[in-house]
Amino acid sequence: MPELPDVETYRKYLEATALHKAIVKVSVETDLLAGVSEKELSKTLNNAKLENTRRHGKHLFIRTSKGPWVGLHFGMTGFLKYYEKPEEKPEHVRLLLAFSNGYRLAYDCQRKLGAIRIIDDPDEFIEDNDLGPDALADDMDFETFRDIIRGSRGYIKSTLMSQKDIAGLGNVWSDEILYQAGIHPKKKIGQLDDGQLRKLYDTMLDVLDKGIRAGGDTAKMPDGFLTPLRGTDSECPCGGKVEKISVSGRNAVYCPRCQT
DNA sequence: TTCCATGTTCCGCA
DNA sequence: TTGCGGAACATGGA
C-alpha cells in the first residue's frame, strides 16, 4: 500500500535491517528496470553495501558504498522483506539482495507497476521528474502549501494526489485527509477559503504522522479514521453511510454528511 | 468470467 | 499553449 506512510515505513525497515552488510549476490527481474541494464545494476550492487536512505514522496533512494543510489518505486503493490530462511521468501520478488551474513532483502511487487533505477543524484532525479516538495518536508510550511494548492484549478483531491504538486499522497491517504478536514473530494480549489486550506494543511501533517506511526497499515488506524472503513459498506461515526464516487478516474471514499 | 485495485503516464479536449 | 480529467497500462485476487 505504498503511499508516503508506507514508503517511510519501508525506509525505516531497511535502515533497521539491511545497512552496512556486504552484498554477495544480486538477482533482478528485468521488467522493472527503468533506464538501467541488469549488468549495470549488478555492477553497482555486487560487493557493495547499502549505506543510507532517503525518501521523497513515494520514492525510496538507497545510497550504495560505490556511490550511486538505487531508486525504488513501489507501484501499487510493492514492499520490502528482510529474511533469513529461503521459505520466508515472498511470492513476487523482483529484486533480491543476498548479504554475507546469510540474510536476504527482497523487493516484492506483485503487479509490475513499480520501478528499479540507478540514480546518481536524488535531487537531480526529483527535478527531472517534476516532483513537487515532499508533503512532510521541513520547508512545506502553510504558505508554501497554500500557494501550491492555489496554483491548481481542479478538484482538491486530484491536486492533493498530483505528485507534481505535493509528493507522497495517494488515493487512500488523500481520502483520509479530506475526511478529517471535512472537505468533499470533489470540491473545486476556487471554492475553498484560506481557513479551509489551513485546516487541510494541519490535517495533512497530523494524518501522515499518525499513518507513519501505524506503519502505514490502514486497518490499524484508530476509531474515527476513514481508512479502516474502506471497501466495506460501512457507517461513519456520524451515523451516515460512507460512499464511493469517482474523482478523476479514482475511487474516492467519503462521508457525504461530514464532508461538504 | 468479469471487475477491480492504494501506482504513473499519455491523449484529447477545453 | 497549458492544464485537467479520464483512459490505458500489467497482473492477479475476489
Does residue A164 have a pLDDT over 90? Answer: yes
How far is residue A169's CA from residue A159's CA, in Å, rounded to a whole number?
10
Instruction: Round to whole Å and give the CA distance between A148 and A164.
Output: 10
Among A32, A101, A15, smallest CA distance to A71 is for: A32
pLDDT in tens, A31-58: 899 989 999 999 999 999 999 999 999 9
Average pLDDT over residues A1-9: 91
Average pLDDT in the A154-182 region?
Answer: 94
Contact assessment for residue A124 and residue A68, using Cβ atoms and an 8 Å cutoff: no
**Per-residue CA distances from A194 to A137, A197, A199, A234 (Å):** 21, 5, 9, 32
Determine what percent of chain A is predicted with pLDDT higher than 90: 84
Region A8-37: mean pLDDT is: 95
C-alpha cell at A220: 490499524
Helix (H) or strand (E) holding A76: none
Query: Which pLDDT score, from 0 to 100, does residue A222 have?
Result: 87
Which nucleotide is the nearest neighbour of A174, by CA and C1'?
Answer: B6
What average pLDDT does range A232-258 have in this prediction? 89
* Percentage with pLDDT > 70 across chain A: 99
| Sign for the pseudo-dihedral over CA of A164, A255, A8, A117 | negative
Separation in Å: B10 C1' and A21 CA: 41
Q: State the Cα–Cα distance between residues A149 and A252, nearest whole angstrom.
A: 19
Looking at residue A1, its pLDDT comes to: 60
Confidence of residue A182 (pLDDT cuts 50, 70, 90): very high
Task: Give the contacts of A141 (CB within 8 A, at least 6 positions apart).
Answer: none
User: What interhelical angle do A194-213 and A171-181 show, nearest 10?
Assistant: 130
**pLDDT per residue as tens digits for the range A231-240:** 767 889 999 9
Query: How many C-beta atoms surround the C-beta of residue A58 within 10 A?
Result: 24
| pLDDT for res A187 | 93
* Confidence tier at A23 by pLDDT (50, 70, 90): very high
Burial (CB count within 10 angstroms: exposed 0-12, middle 13-18, buried 19+), residue A232: exposed
Chain segment A101-160, per-residue pLDDT in tens: 999 999 999 988 899 999 999 999 999 999 999 999 999 999 999 999 999 989 999 999
Nucleotide whose C1' lies closest to the alpha carbon of residue A251: B5
Amino acid at site A119: I
Q: What confidence score (pLDDT) does residue A248 get?
A: 85
What's the pLDDT tens digit per position in A73-99?
999 999 999 999 999 999 999 999 999
Which residue, A136, A131, A224, A231, is CA-closest to A176? A224
**CB under 7 Å from any atom of strand B: which residues?**
A 1-3, 6, 57-58, 73, 75-76, 111, 113, 129, 161, 163, 170-172, 218, 244, 249-251
pTM attached to this predicted model: 0.95
How far is the C-alpha of A202 from the C-alpha of A194, rounded, in Å? Answer: 12
Measured CA to C1', the nucleotide nearest A246 is C6
Summarised one tens digit per residue, pLDDT across range A192-212 is 999 999 999 999 999 999 999
Contact between A21 and A65 under an 8 Å Cβ cutoff? The reply is no
